[in-house]
Structure 1
Amino acid sequence: MTQSFLTDYDVFLFKQGRHYRLYNCLGCKMVEDGAHFAIWAPNAQEVSVLCNLNGWTYGTNQLSPRWDGSGIWEGFVPGLGLGDIYKYGIKTQTGEWIQKSDPMASKYEEPPKSASVVWPLDYRWEDEAWMSSRGEVLPLDGPWSIYEVHLGSWVRRDGGFLSYREIGPLLADYVLEAGFTAVELMPVMEHPFYGSWGYQVLGYFAPTSRYGTPQDFMAMVDHLHSKGIAVILDWVPSHFPSDGHGLANFDGTCLYEHQDSRKGYHPQWTSAIFNYGRHEVRSFLISSALLWLDKYHIDGIRVDGVASMLYLDYGRSHGQWIPNRYGGRENLEAVALLREFNSEVNRSYPDVVTFAEESTEWPRVTGPVHLGGLGFSMKWDMGWMHDSLSYMSRDSIHRSWHHGEITFGMWYAFSERFILPLSHDEVVYGKRSLLMKMAGDHWRKRANLRLLLAMMYLRPGKKLLFMGGEFGQENEWNHEKELDWYLMDRPEHRGIFKLVSDLNRLYREESALHRDFDPQCFQWIDCSDVAQSVFVMMRPLGDRPIVAVINGTPEPRYDYRIGVPQGGKWRELCNTDGDCYGGSGMGNMGEIEAQEIGCHGRHWSLSLTLPPLSVLALAPERLFNEEV
């Protein structure tokens, strides 16, 4: 037997729940003449490695339990090398033999096969410049504009998947053209069922083999970094599937999950819930997150299903859940895990951001841990998403009765550091695409979508847009086929794409627009024009103030006066009704002179033409550094 990769200190940290890099000492490690194995299975009677060399025979290549009571089994199998497949044969306390994949594997067979693969994580990175400067290039309060992508259905070739290495250059070029600063990949961790979109994870330490090897995935990240694009990964510590080869009943007992179904079974997703109070499980989960930062150079982690983790009664009726030790519904162990996760990420990588998909009013999700918060960098604003889509789906004749769906979000906009998500969840299961959610005929749908996108970019909050929304995908997202790229040949859809590109440029270049977390960064100039469904807001911080005027009806407004903070000429930075975007071409000829006429409590004002279903973004000309 070769020397163990585990030290006594590793075991101590593991048992304390404080080992955050288990991938360095557990799992399969290639050595010169074979492979060393270490696996946690404290309730097993026997553990052996099953592989082609031993004909998948139980008991041939046995592992030995460590003397320290850690429940870790170790051993060496000679002759195993790069690309060989294996599983663990585990004899349970009842005498039954079961086969399990390696929870710590760095690679798996391509599903539906489920064996683990002997594979190293060696790679020669070329992103030193990005890694040394990413915190300055894209700081927390920088222009985070995120393009959410499902790799298997973004683009395909002859109906089949592209590899990570093939996707990388295509995705980078497209994201640069569209102007996004980051991509968020729906879970790439290995998952048995493709239709889960990656949210039913079993390989927490391995990118899915559907698109290539770990090194192929690294090459994709490397290429995106070379173009200045940050990479965010979805991470799913909220639940896991109960497939026989996976984590469920791993050694014949509920090792990773709670035994009591009132705590260990997720009724909405019919999956298992991690036992967050178990020290070894906390080490496993946090080590998974840190692997993607250490080995794959990921720039951000979005934690899925945070609300389901925080509440013991999530998705459950009375009597179907167990209160915490104080009699409450809060999952104290999950809270501790999330705080520990964020603290360790911040300690190891202060330039990495974390995002919470959290849909409730849990306090201080983005507050610092030492002050009682969960420690996330940002939180998804699900309320803004719901209210905005509700408003935009209404016929304009009814919008005056629902004016508050646009204004209400500003009451709580600075209670957390928010990101505004128009994600994949809104364009599936009969919800229709973003474009088809919009009210009206086809022209009005496109105008309303342009209005929605501009509202998102001009109000406080970082931005997230799911693939297809940037050009007005008409069909619902279908993970079994690529996006409807043929629409990009149509001027009206290419116009939507151009608008998103221009909005992203404005968001990057105008500091007033991406200073999103300071309560002083936003003012309503007028949010009371209910009768005409007009909203006027200002982003006053930054190099120059930006004023946005929203007309939520298809009726043009002439001589519409708004107060502004200074005189001189004002330029239209963006007009969503422009010809180039597929609009009617109405507007203010690109600029307008402020008049010394008081309005909205300001000394100066503009008399504007408001195009139908439009957003105007204006800024004072005298701050432009250009020839006139």
Structure 2
Amino acid sequence: MVKKLMQLDPWLEPYGDKLKARHWHILENSRRILGGKSATEFALGYLYYGRHRTDGGWIMREWAPHANKIVLVGDFCDWQDDARYEFTRDGGDWLLELPDKLLQHGDNYKLHVYWDGGDGYRIPAYARYVVQDDETKLFAAQIWQPKQEFKWTDRGFRSPADPPLIYEAHVGMSSEREEVASYAYFTREVLPRIKRVGYNTVQLMAVAEHPYYGSFGYHVANYFAPSSRFGTPDELKALVNTAHAMGLRVIMDIVHSHSVKNEAEGLSRFDGSYSQYFHEGERGHHRQWDSRTFDYGKPEVAHFLLSNVRYWLDEYHFDGYRFDGVTSMLYYSHGLEKSYSSYDDYFDGDVDLDALTYLTLANAVVHGVKKHAITIAEDMSALPGLAAPIDVDGIGFDYRLSMGVPDLWIKTLKEKKDEDWDLTHLLHELTAHRPEERTISYAESHDQALVGDKTLIFRLADADMYDHMLASDTDLVVERAVALHKLIRLLTASTHSGGYLTFMGNEYGHPEWIDFPRPGNGWSYQYARRQWSLADDANLKYSQLGSFDQALTTLLRDVDGEVDYRYIHQGDGVLSYMRGNYLFAYNFSPAQSYTDYGVPAPNGKYTAVLSSDSKEFGGQGRVDSHVAYMATSGQLMLYLPARTALVLRRDK
């Protein structure tokens, strides 16, 4: 197996013995954890633990090895301990059977857990719906068992063809009003917008319940509960069901890299111990993220997390995951202050092989349960084999996020004048990836939009955006910003090595950062929303940027093959390349336009299919898209105005 990975990347040959040891550890560790079961069967723990209906009533199971007593409390008993609702112990598990009429749809409940030297109220680990009281602000599990069961209608859904064009979205901040938007709002208002602008994959953030809204969903407390601040479980199912009817794939951010440290809401000290789900001592705390870190080598923890992976696929019909914080999972150092500039960095003993085993099993579950589901690793280290199939000694991810690309653009914009952009370096970095992997490229995601940072459009235009975004305005700062915003996105998207991603609103140059309600801003929702009306107003440049992005996604669906016929003239600011039958030509010069500029291309007839200079995209309309182009002697002659890009298709 290891030989296959080394055949894909010969630079790994000096590390063959260490790769074999890694492979052996994953195999042996997987056998130990699974205990003779397949990964997909092992991941059915959510059908055993938690609260379930039986023929005679209800049965509840919890894993809490350090507890010495557990009592169910809730609305049905006025939140008082009652011996009738005390669990019985079975090893590390606890069991309670109840009559059917005791618990009703909408009832709130918790566990009162006792341990040596203390006790506390806890939300069941497998709770499927958790709500917050408006007055006390306390969270509790709630029974979601409506008489009318949700009816799925997506039986014939087929995932869209590659490449995945991903629209990263947050339900809560998807409304233009200063509020927390709902699953129902997103389904009604945002899904049609995503479909219309041409993306084929919706990536939902902040799905699993999290106590603090401002965490962007990355401090998860209740792994099996869709966040109730956005609506009910059935409304989330309706969102996915509707997306499937539109032909949209829906994936979710899954956060198994760490867990919120809250004890009343989350898993920390669930049974009184600090190490039930998490590592012992200091290793069990992620100081940089102020959270807890899972012990992936413990079979019970792997059982919980793998069951969580399968649960969202089975119960909510998600089509895969973007695994958050994979770099932090992979390394004992969490990847902090490491550049990963040498292969030695991957084999110096810093890799957590238990985490690597878990991620391999998680990918096996996803692809075993849902053949066409996709998995994406948020990893900045580019660990060898991470995004390679398991059968070639890979970890099994379908894609890795190209996390260095947005950093590349930020660094370029901050440190270089337009005329000094290093085009060779840009193209090299945008097309760089490990030989065995596919990557998702993006110019910016939610990370670049957070308060304290700047989106690309705001970095380019800054305060001029507030006064000069009328389509008729010729402000030079905004003209430059709009032109480069289009070129950056076209260059990033068209050089992808697997797929492309944008964050909700960034496609049309949303003018402001993201700042969730918090004490520092007076709990304001002003910046935790999306101003869709800007993109819908034909009198504004936002609308023109949105039109360009729609043309871009249409183009990307037909672009494949390797980047070829590269041409760079640094002095002229000209860059071009072929991708399949498409020629991409850019003039990054801020002032110099070129007539009859020759770029290399296969001989034949070409048709212009996209010009960033079109007036509908906020350009000056200097390129005649009706002109026929003919490449002869391996060269195509083009008119390239300053700060524009032209895409031509070679006729068959």
State the TM-score, normalizing by the size of structure 2: 0.83
Match status 1:74 vs 2:103 = no
- For 1:129, what is the secondary structure of its paired residue? coil
How far apart are the structure 2 equivalents of 1:497 and 1:16? 43
> Residue deviations 1:164-215, cap 9 Å, x none?
1232021221012111111111121111000001111111111100111111
How far apart are the structure 1 equivalents of 2:247 and 2:453? 34
How far apart are the structure 2 equivalents of 1:11 and 1:559? 65
Q: Aligned residues, how many?
A: 576
The residue correspondences of 1:82-481 to structure 2 (distance < 5 A) are: 82-94=105-117, 96-110=118-132, 112-120=137-145, 122-130=149-157, 133-134=158-159, 137-138=160-161, 142-157=162-177, 159-245=178-264, 246-314=266-334, 328-393=349-414, 396-401=417-422, 403-412=424-433, 414-421=435-442, 422-438=444-460, 441-461=477-497, 462-479=499-516, 480=525, 481=528
Q: Report what 1:613 is aligned to.
A: 643
Shift, 1:468, TM fit: 1.3
Letter in 1 for 2:511: E
Letter in 1 for 2:594: R
The residue correspondences of 1:13-92 to structure 2 (distance < 5 A) are: 19-31=42-54, 34-67=57-90, 69-76=91-98, 79-92=102-115
Maintained 8 Å contact 1:201/1:241: yes
How far apart are the structure 2 equivalents of 1:11 and 1:214? 30
- For 2:259, what is the secondary structure of its paired residue? coil
- The counterpart of 2:598, out of the listed 561, 585, 594, is 561
- Are the structure 2 counterparts of residues 463 and 484 from structure 1 closer, same or farther at C-alpha, using a change threshold of 3 Å? same
Alpha-carbon RMSD across the aligned residues, in angstroms, is: 2.6
Letter in 1 for 2:109: Y
Match status 1:521 vs 2:562 = yes
Letter in 2 for 1:611: P
Bigger mean CA deviation after superposition, 610-619 or 221-230: 610-619
- The counterpart of 1:494, out of the listed 523, 528, 543, is 543
Maintained 8 Å contact 2:172/2:182: no
- The counterpart of 1:530, out of the listed 565, 570, 583, is 570
Shift, 1:328, TM fit: 1.6
Maintained 8 Å contact 2:129/2:228: yes
Maintained 8 Å contact 2:268/2:274: yes
Maintained 8 Å contact 1:396/1:552: no
- For 1:154, what is the secondary structure of its paired residue? coil
Maintained 8 Å contact 1:434/1:473: no
> Residue deviations 1:454-503, cap 9 Å, x none?
11232133110001111111111234331123322243111110011111
Shift, 1:335, TM fit: 0.5
Q: Report what 1:4 is aligned to.
A: none
- Are the structure 2 counterparts of residues 60 and 331 from structure 1 closer, same or farther at C-alpha, using a change threshold of 3 Å? same
Shift, 1:113, TM fit: 2.8
Maintained 8 Å contact 1:17/1:283: no
- For 1:149, what is the secondary structure of its paired residue? strand
Match status 1:547 vs 2:598 = no
Letter in 1 for 2:529: E
Letter in 2 for 1:124: K
- Are the structure 2 counterparts of residues 415 and 381 from structure 1 closer, same or farther at C-alpha, using a change threshold of 3 Å? farther
**5+ unaligned residues in a row in structure 1: which ranges?**
1-9, 319-325, 597-602, 624-628
How far apart are the structure 2 equivalents of 1:208 and 1:383? 31
Letter in 2 for 1:350: K
- The counterpart of 2:530, out of the listed 454, 477, 483, is 483
- For 1:607, what is the secondary structure of its paired residue? strand
Letter in 2 for 1:593: Y
**5+ unaligned residues in a row in structure 2: which ranges?**
1-32, 339-346, 462-475, 517-524
Bigger mean CA deviation after superposition, 104-113 or 334-343: 104-113
Maintained 8 Å contact 1:110/1:208: no
Bigger mean CA deviation after superposition, 165-174 or 220-229: 165-174
State the TM-score, normalizing by the size of structure 1: 0.86
How far apart are the structure 2 equivalents of 1:150 and 1:212? 13
Letter in 1 for 2:65: P
Maintained 8 Å contact 2:423/2:575: no
- For 1:531, what is the secondary structure of its paired residue? coil
Q: Report what 2:621 is aligned to.
A: 585
Maintained 8 Å contact 1:310/1:334: yes
Bigger mean CA deviation after superposition, 379-388 or 237-246: 379-388
Q: Report what 1:323 is aligned to.
A: none
Bigger mean CA deviation after superposition, 266-275 or 51-60: 51-60
- For 1:109, what is the secondary structure of its paired residue? strand
Shift, 1:34, TM fit: 4.7
How far apart are the structure 2 equivalents of 1:369 and 1:64? 41
Shift, 1:13, TM fit: 7.8
- Are the structure 2 counterparts of residues 617 and 259 from structure 1 closer, same or farther at C-alpha, using a change threshold of 3 Å? closer
- Are the structure 2 counterparts of residues 17 and 327 from structure 1 closer, same or farther at C-alpha, using a change threshold of 3 Å? farther
Maintained 8 Å contact 1:169/1:224: no
- For 1:152, what is the secondary structure of its paired residue? coil
Maintained 8 Å contact 2:279/2:294: no
Letter in 2 for 1:90: V
- Are the structure 2 counterparts of residues 84 and 109 from structure 1 closer, same or farther at C-alpha, using a change threshold of 3 Å? same
How far apart are the structure 1 equivalents of 2:504 and 2:357? 34
> Residue deviations 1:512-560, cap 9 Å, x none?
x1x3xxxx52214313x111222111012xxxx1000112222222221
Maintained 8 Å contact 2:431/2:495: no
Maintained 8 Å contact 2:609/2:625: no
Maintained 8 Å contact 1:400/1:532: no
